[in-house]
Amino acid sequence: MKKNSFLEKIKVKINTDVVLEKLQSEYGEEVSKLLDFNEFNIGEKLQMNSFHQENFRLLYIAEKQKLCRLQDNFDERAGQKYDKYKYGNSKDLSKVEIERYYLPKDEELIKLKKIIRLQETRVEFFSAVADSFKSQGFNMRVFMDNLKVGG
């Protein structure tokens, strides 16, 4: 049975959306509350901003480390698979043939790539949240300057 690459791409996108939805449900409401500010709570929000920014930056770093380990694992397995196809095969396969036709079809490597894509989604989520807190500090300072001016 031939696999449809279009359907595979959709399946990966759906899985990515599930991960993103899970992250949104786990962190979304809390993050929104932490990022929301007004003239009554801006002092407290300014004091806590760098704390929240650092916490989410650390979550980003932890998720990035997981991604690096997954990528290292993928590279190691791909190298082992390459050797298997190159030296453990009765066919005399070229580098291009192995990389273009054999490795992309390897089930284990396909699964590892999917896991890497899902982890990339987690990394991007925490990066975006950390960036939001970074820009929130600037936004609050502008807001306070406008309050002083009477805007």
Which pLDDT tens digit goes with each residue over 79-115? 999 999 999 877 889 999 999 999 999 999 999 999 9
Statement: residue 151 has pLDDT above 80: no
Statement: residue 147 has pLDDT above 90: no
Note the pLDDT of residue 141: 87
Amino acid at 4: N
Distance in angstroms between the alpha carbons of the first and the last residue of the chain: 66
Are the C-beta atoms of residues 41 and 146 closer than 8 Å to each other? Answer: no
